[in-house]
Structure 1
Amino acid sequence: MFVVANVNYSFMAVVVAMKIVSKRSKTAVAPVMFMEIHRQMRYI
């Protein structure tokens, strides 16, 4: 239960970070999203 909630929270954090980055530069969204997904998969 806690693990699932933690994954959901980390996923939301990634989404928020993606939105902030996308506002600054749209070209940087893809690399950042790719790196964040790999980092989150390590925790899972």
Structure 2
Amino acid sequence: MARIARRLDDVSLDSPTLVEGFPGVGLVGKIVVDHLIEYLDIDH
């Protein structure tokens, strides 16, 4: 079985906010979340 390991930088989680977009018709939710991540320069 293959394993995938992701190593992430340490992130301060003093007051985290979760932004989640579920793919639906036309993938609108995912497109909006991708735009917010890019526009707000969010680390994910």
TM interval, short-chain normalised: 0.3 to 0.5
Instruction: Give the alignment's TM-score, normalised by structure 2.
Output: 0.37
The structure whose residues are more often helix, as a share, is 1
Task: Give the number of the structure with larger relative contact order, counting CA–CA contacts within 8 Å between residues 6 or more apart.
Answer: 1
Instruction: Give the alignment's TM-score, normalised by structure 1.
Output: 0.37
Name which one, 1 or 2, has greater alpha-carbon Rg: 2
